[in-house]
Each structure stands twice: as structure tokens, then as C-alpha cells.
Structure 1
Amino acid sequence: MMKTKLLLFTMACAFAVQTSAQSETVKYEDFLVTPSNISQGVLDNGFRYYLCDNGFTGNGLEMRLIQKSGTGDDEGTPGIALLLRRMLFSENLTVGSAGVVKDHLDALNMQRIPSFRALNGLIPDIPAYCSEMDNGCTEFNLFRLKKERAYAASCVELLSQIAGHARFSDSELERQKTFLVNEITNSRYDLAKSGENSLKATFVDGCTLDELINKQINSIRSITLQQIEAYYQRWYVPQNQCLYVFGKAPDDIVDIIKQQFGSCPNMSAPERGVNKLNHQKLLMLKHDVPAFYLQFCFVQPCVAASATKNLDYLRKKAVYGRLGEILGTSKDAQVTVSMDEDAPFFRCPVFELRMMTALDLYADERQLSDFVDDVTKKLDDIIHNGVQAHIEQLTIEKQKELQQQALTNIRDYKVLDTHSCIKANFIHSKPLVKEEPTYQYFKHEVSEQDIQDCCKELFNNYDLRIVCTTPYGYPDADIKAKLESMIYHLSTPPN
């Protein structure tokens, strides 16, 4: 499923964005979701923790341990990341010398939690791992904890053991392999990601989705206990973990966290590899609604994702936002733009144009063909001649007024979903940026020249990939030929 939310990436050749005088006093912190209800700490070994209290009444202390997953970096063993997450939520998992987790929970006198499965905060009848299959992490939750120091310390100790010393048995490995293969076969775990999986299969692995799934299943069946343990030790390191404490935490909770998690081995987190793209450049899909989609993926040369974000990054975000608005003014199609500096299936910066035209139930293939011809002309013009922005320049006084209003909105912002906010920040290595107020502030500084510079950068060096989604029942042979011709024509960037 295409995301319409604007995502940004940092390109190898950065372009200059004009800075208005009135923005010089703006601080990057103005755009971070870091009010008094959130405090962050980082231990010497790279482990992060967050203390959060939104002031909601009736909420007891909660702890959530989040661990990044190596999904997408299976090191030549497809499915090993899924299998590891499945096993980490096994009721038979042991942690170091503490024994079976259930026994540890019983020792804590937490009779309301009948098994380790409930560490995910779900009722025992619901598989604890299922909600995390589509997210790049594994998550363990403890709810409504007592605020007694000894009790909290014992719970933190349990989570710290899971974070660094999980052990698995051969019998449990075989049991979980069977369960996971059955779920993959029944398409239960990845229904929401089938579109992304098709893109990865076609453009990265050069095969069909069915072939990719069969490859994954065969790989899972052959995974050994030694492979699982080695993969776990490689990916579940302090830098890939954070502890989220929600509620009015005791004053000494930080000391407990430092004591328990500070002793985790200081190993460097692995870097994600770069996907080598396959030669296939066109993916044809069917859809069960009378609409015709064309998704153009301009894949850029891979560069390191931005480790830090600053004001220039936020200004650049506004430029891409305005570009999306301008391209979306097309009268013949709905146009959406997205930017991703680390696209999940390409693992490269990607600029996407998604164009859609609505069709009536009796539309014929000629209408689809005409739409492709029209899009080809427009896209060719944009690539070679840029975008006619025609941005209205506001007076300095008006810009100041609107920007001040944006800052007011930022300071009045309240984090209502602290957990999702922190989780997204942690998994995607992004600051807690307030997306909309940031754009509302800097969009008033964007000029026509900024838009032109943006286009020159985007369309200077790219690998064009196209996804075409045709309505049900429509033949696609002629459309496919047209799109293949388009790829050949547009795959040579302008000088």
C-alpha cells in the first residue's frame, strides 16, 4: 500500500535552500516532540531509555522493551529474522540462569499474567508476536507494575535478561519453524505487506512473490540452532534496544535501568546492507477496483542515511512538500509524492510519483492507453525541463505572521500517543519531529528556484522502476509494451 505521507531523504549532492532572515532565531528544538513529559537517556553502551508521563490519571507504571529486528538483512538466510521474533515470544524461552520466564513471573507474584506470552500485553488467546510482524522490531511489555523499588528492579532485571541472554532449545526451534512455515503458507503474517513483498521480489530478487515465499519457506526449514543464536547475538545489541517507561516513574527508576542495562555487552550494531537491484524494471499488478495506478520509483544511488537532522534538513523537507503540491495540481490525474531515504524494499533513497486515474465500469483499454501516453509526455517534460512552480511570494510581514503561528502550534502540541511516537523514532532512527508544524513553518521560505534545484537533483541520476496496477478484467499486454517503451525512453537522465 502506498503511503501518501511525505517522507524525505538526504541526497548525495545537497542543494542550497535559501534561508530567510526571520528564521535565524528558529531552533531545531522547536520542532522536536520533547516537552516535559518525555526525557531520554543514553547509556555508555548505546542503550536508550525514555521516561514518559502524559499526565493521564489512573495509569500505572508500564515498561516496554523494544528491540530492532534484522528483517531485510537475513544474511543469506531468508526468514531467519521472522523465525527469531517468533521464538522470542515463545512461552518456553529461557533467559540466562533465571530459568523459564513463567517461573520468574510467578516469583514476582504476578498471578494475573498466566504465561510469558502475556509479556506482550495481550490476552493469552492471542499470539503475542503477530502485531509485530509488520514492524521492524520485537516488543515486550509489562503493565501496571507496582512502584516499589524491589518490584520494579526485578521486572527490569527480567527485561534486561531477555535483551541480552535469551537461549533457545532444539525442540522449540523445530516447533516454531513448523508454526512459521504454516503461517507463511497461509499468508497470515504478511497480508498487509503483500504489495511491498511483490516489489521486493520483482525489483530486488528478480522472481515472483510465490517464488520468493517458497525460497523463504525452504530456508526456514533448514535453519539451525547455531544460526539462530548467532543472528540473535549480532542483531540484539544495546544500540538496537530501548526501554520505554510510561507513567509516573519513581525517582530512582533511572538508577535501576543503568544498573541492569548498563552491563549489556558493548557491541556495535550491524549496518544494513545495500540491496543489489535486479534487471527487471516493470511490475504489473491487478486491482479489484476500477482505478488505474502508475507508480514511478526514481531510485537514487545509495548514500548513508542522515545520522542527524538539522534546520537545513527541515527546510529541505518543505521544498519537497511544495514540489508534491505542485505536481498534485494535475487536472488529469491524482498525483501523490513520497520521499524515502531508506526505502524498505530498495534499501536506497527513492523518489516516488504515484499517478491515478479513475475509470468508469465500462471503460475500455483505449482509455488506459491514452492515460499512459499523456503521463509519458508530462513526465518527460518534468524530467527535462523541471516544474513551473509559480509560487506566490508573500511579504516579509505576512511570512513572519504565518511562521509565528506555526511555532505557536508547535509549542501547544501535546503528545497523545507517546508510545507510537517513540517507537517510530527508534525503529527508523529519526528524531521526534513534528511533521506538519515543521512543514507549515518552512514552506513560506520556499522559492521557485528551490523547486527547480530540487528537480535538477532528483532527475540527475536515477534508476527508473515502474509499478502498474490495472483494474480487474482489463488486458495489460499493450499497456505493458507502452510502459516498457517509456522506461527505455526515460531511463536516460538529462545531461
Structure 2
Amino acid sequence: MNITPGVLDNGFRYYLCNNFFPDSKLEMRLIQKSGTGDDEGTPGISLLLRRMLCSENLIAGTCGVLKDKLDELQLQRFTQFRAVNGLVPDISTYSSEIDNGCTEYNLFRLKNERAYAASCVGLLAEIAGHARFSASELERQKEFLVNEITNSRYDLAKKHDNYQKATFVDGCSLDELLDKQINSIRSITLQQLEAYYQRWYVPQNQCLYVYGKAPSNIADIIKQKFGSRPSMPAPEKSVNELSNQKLLMTKREGPIFSIQFYFIKPCVALSSSEDLDYLRKAAVYTRIGEMLGSSLHAQVVTSIDESAPFFRRPVYALHFVKNLDLYADDQQLSDFIDDVTKKLDDVIRNGFQEHIAPLPIEKQKELQRQELNNIHHSFVVDTHSSIKANFLYSKPLFKDVPPYNYFKYEVSEQDIQNCSKELFNNYDLRIVCTTPYGFTDAGIKAKLEAFLSDK
């Protein structure tokens, strides 16, 4: 895949992706960030905006400008194109990637022809950032969204994450958080929605990518159509104020016990790219989790998030999972808590003491070459997903493969010590403990609270 990125003076970004397949269709996709998720003091307004934008009524009337342009420009151009080529182009489609924090306009085209491509880019430029919403559709979508939020109370897959946000960020119960959001949504006005939309839909929060064998001068077309659009300073992401609650106790079906430690760091400027140093550090963190797991005879999953969705700051998480016997008792859970907290406390205070035997450089390179071969044979990069993910986090494109398989052979004792000092320094520790239904956890809670109070 040959990917050529570009950034215009006003912050608008684009990618030209040539897959070198001679008969592949030309696809254009305009991706617009829906914002940082910050609701501007109005809980639910970002959800409502996305709900409005992905409404099936968008083309039918929700977005007047889009409807007009489809009627006046696209129909005329499609008719001309069909007359010349004897073909019927694909119809424009619209989708919302709510989980990824962005919204997309998709245009799929049949011909790699400059004039036709220029008309498509022109249509996208007209659509971008000019949606208009009707008052009647707003009221309709409010009720849809309120019903979705109400039903999510019983969605167990979402419930755990929502509990974390309610507890650690909002300092309330889940029901209190949902009621606050529902009441806010019902009070949102058309003026509030449009003002929120206009703040986020600026060139700095948009990109266009062209996938297929694009005309060589399509970059000039993009510059002409999007380069003159007005620009404004990109909004800054706000930081959630954390509540004073440090511990969350939950229940789970089945004989599984888990405990998650969230080491929340002070908010700092995010990395501009996932460079090699970042990937090597991720490999070291993964190795730290493996070392903890082996010493405790448990599965330990590690994760690093530079801007966790609930906390909005860097978070390093250690997730301990312990499978229990069906007839396990409270003492087994309590003993495991003692083991975990004692080991973690020792690591926080004194670092890791395990010895890592260094590999000869020739053996290290040989193993890394094997990993690259495995990646080549078993992993296919999805261009659409890669571009979208990297655009969302303002990072240049890179192959999205697990770095640990490659960089694990470079991890040394000094790397472990350096990352431990960085990790266990200047943090705010939060804990989520999950016990099986039927197990009393008063003693476990007391031990975890004592561990927290010492940190």
C-alpha cells in the first residue's frame, strides 16, 4: 500500500492511498471528528449530535444543504456521467462511527476520471461543516436517545464501564449519572446543538482519504476545494475532575475473581506519534505484567492509554484475573488480595528484583526477523481502519501490529527499572475489584482500602 499524506495550511488533512489494483473502484471518505467527548457542561449533547447526524432522515431533510447539493449538483453530474459512460454510479451513503468518536460521509465511485473526481470532492467540500437541523427532528431524536440510555441500564456489557465513570469521575451512582444525562438531553435546544456542531466541525477536525488508483493531480483538487475553508484554533480537550472515591466493588457471574489497578497520571501533552520509543515502552510495560503474573500464578493484562475516555489523562492499568474453584471460600479471595497487594507494594517501593538474562545480539535479531515473517504471513493491514484510527488520535500512519512480539527481545533489566520508576511516581491510584456472586467481600474491601490509604 502506497499512502501519501498531506496537511493544508488551515489544518485540513488528506491521504491518497494507491493499492495498485488497476480495476479497483475509487472511494472517497470524509471523516469528521465529533469532538473530544466533552459535553461542555451539557451531558449528552455530543451523543445527541451524533444521533442527529446518523439519522436516516439526514438526506431526506435533516441536513438542508446536503439535500440541496444532492438534488442540484449530484443528480446533474450523475446524469451527465451516465450519459457519457452508460453506467449508474453508486449512491452516496452516510454512516456514523460513534464508538470511534467520528462521523463519516462516504462516496463510492466507479470511474477513475479527473473531472468526475473533482465534482465529488466539490460535493464533499460543500457538505463539510454545513449541516442544518430541524426542530421537529431534534425532538424526535431526543426521545430515541433517552430510550437508548434508559435501556442501557440493563445492558451488562456497558454497565461496568458506566459504573467506572459514575464512581471515579462523577462521584455518584450509575442511576444518578443516567438521570442527570437524561434530564440534560430533554432540555437541549436547537441553538445549543448548532453551536456545539459548529465548534467541532472545522478543518482541523476533518480529513479526506481517497482509496484506489487516484488521479495524480487529485491533491491539487483537494487543496482548491478545502484549502479556502475558514479555520479556527482547534479546541483544547478538558480534563475531568476526579471524584474522591478510590475503590469500586462489583459482582460477576461465575467463579472468576479480578482486580484492576488504575495508575492515573497527571494530564500532560499527548505524544504526537507512536514512534519506536513509544512502542518499545509498551513492550516493557507488557513484560512488567508478565513478571507480576508469573510471581502470583495469575493472569495479568496490562494496558496503556494516553487519554483514557473516562479520566481524560494517561492511565496505566494492571488487571489481575484469578480463576477460582467452584467451592472456593472467602479465605481464598482474601489470601489472593494479600498476595497481590504485598507484591505490588514491594514493587512500587523497591522495583523489580527479577533477573533478565540478556540475549546475544545475533540471537535477538534472528528472533525479530522471525516475528516479522510471522506478521507478513498472518496479518493484513486494513487501510480504512488504520487511517481512521490514526486520524482520530492525530498520529501519522503506521502498521497496527502488536509491538511486543518484536520488541520483547530488547527488554532489559534496566528498561524494567526505568519504567517502574516512571510508572509508580506521581500517580492517583483507583481500584476496581470484582468478586463472584455469593461471596461476601467486606474483608476484601477493607484490605484494599488500607492498601489505597498507604499510597
TM-score (norm 2): 0.88
Q: Deviations over 1:406-433 (max 9, x none)?
A: 6777889975310011111111223333
Moved more, 164-173 or 146-155: 146-155
Partner of residue 215, structure 2: 250
Partner of residue 6, structure 1: none
Partner of residue 325, structure 1: 290
Contact map agreement 2:152 2:158 (CA 8 A) in 1: no
Q: Distance in 2 between matches of 1:378 and 1:334?
A: 14
Q: Deviations over 1:276-321 (max 9, x none)?
A: 1000111122222320110000111111111245443343333323
Matched, 1:453 2:422: no
Contact map agreement 2:30 2:104 (CA 8 A) in 1: yes
Q: For 2:445, what is the secondary structure of its paired residue?
A: helix
Which of 71, 82, 89 pairs up with 2:54? 89
Counterpart amino acid of 2:218?
Answer: I
Task: Note the aligned Cα RMSD (angstroms).
Answer: 2.8
Q: Distance in 1 between matches of 2:200 and 2:431?
A: 33
| Matching of residues 20-419 of structure 1 within 5 Å | 36-55=1-20, 59-90=24-55, 91=58, 92-94=61-63, 96=65, 99=68, 101=70, 105-109=74-78, 119-120=93-94, 128-129=95-96, 132-187=97-152, 193-403=158-368, 415-419=380-384
Q: Distance in 1 between matches of 2:327 and 2:374?
A: 48
Matched, 1:467 2:441: no
Gaps of 5+ in 1: 1-35, 121-127
Q: Deviations over 1:40-66 (max 9, x none)?
A: 111111111111233457531111111
Counterpart amino acid of 1:201?
Answer: A
Q: Distance in 2 between matches of 1:276 and 1:253?
A: 45
Q: For 1:469, what is the secondary structure of its paired residue?
A: strand
Q: Indicate the structure with greater helix content.
A: 2
Q: Deviations over 1:418-463 (max 9, x none)?
A: 0011111111223333454754554433321221121122112111
Gaps of 5+ in 2: 80-87
Q: For 2:198, what is the secondary structure of its paired residue?
A: helix
Q: CA deviation at 1:386?
A: 1.0
Counterpart amino acid of 1:315?
Answer: R
Counterpart amino acid of 1:285?
Answer: T
Counterpart amino acid of 2:295?
Answer: S
Matched, 1:428 2:393: yes
Q: Distance in 2 between matches of 1:260 and 1:193?
A: 41
Q: Deviations over 1:55-112 (max 9, x none)?
A: 4575311111111122531110111111111222232233548627566554454888
Contact map agreement 2:261 2:318 (CA 8 A) in 1: yes
Q: 1:302 to 1:326 in 2, by over 3 A?
A: same
Contact map agreement 2:28 2:106 (CA 8 A) in 1: yes
Q: CA deviation at 1:219?
A: 0.9
Q: For 2:103, what is the secondary structure of its paired residue?
A: strand
Question: Which protein has greater RCO, CA pairs closer than 8 Å, 6+ apart?
Answer: 1
Q: Distance in 1 between matches of 2:23 and 2:157?
A: 34
Partner of residue 83, structure 2: none
